[in-house]
Amino acid sequence: MSALKYPGRLPHVAYLSTLAVLCLMLGGCASIWERTYEPRAEALTDRISRSDDVTVRKVPWSRLEATLTELSEAQADRDIHWDEWPDADRQAADAVLLRGLQVSEDPSLIEVLGRSSFKSTDRLKPTDGSLERFAAKIGATYAIWSSKVLGKTDKIVQEPVRESGFRPIRYYDRKRGRYGTRYEYDDWTTYVPVVIEADETAWVVYYLRHRQ
């Protein structure tokens, strides 16, 4: 069952890697919301204009989990694949999803663009502007999120270790026309990977837009 097409069940969340954490620290990579985004196959987000107004809000995890379980069971009871469902049945499934997301508007006026899902030990803030910016980028007018703390897990962090002493310095000797090595006293910092225990949280975000 494709998580890109069918709204049912909680997705297999992706793990935020050490490289991804470093990217977040350095600010040189796309946000975690964007890196884990799974568009629906039928949602051509590259043809949707940027949104100027995005509503970011939270729904309870228990509510979202119950809704996705209901949709997953409904699909399991069918003898045909989601790709072959009649449009009316797909719309009815989306109406169930939107109700679970606490969207009170007419379901026929709302399109599900896709979702982000992952696990992380970082303290993320959906209200810090990064989620809103990505949602606007793909043309969404809603970014509805939920999260749940899963428990403790091991996390690798880089701890600074300060050292001092003599260390070799490579230099070019112009008189001799060759490279040489000299030793200078210096202070430096080395970052050492250390395993610590941290809370792991599962995140799911659905991106919706008003049909035009």
Closest of 6, 115, 147, 146 to residue 70, by C-alpha = 6
Name 56's Cβ contacts closer than 8 Å, sequence gap at least 6.
126, 127, 131, 132, 135, 142, 143, 144, 145
pLDDT digits 0-9 by tens, 51-80 = 788 999 999 999 999 999 999 999 899 988
Kindly indicate the confidence band of residue 96, based on its pLDDT and cuts at 50, 70 and 90: very high
pLDDT above 60 for 24? no
pLDDT digits 0-9 by tens, 171-209 = 888 888 888 888 888 886 877 777 767 788 999 999 999
Residue 101 is inside which H or E element, if any?
A: none
Kindly indicate the confidence band of residue 45, based on its pLDDT and cuts at 50, 70 and 90: low
pLDDT above 80 for 29? no
Contact call for residues 146 and 206 (beta carbons, < 8 A)? no
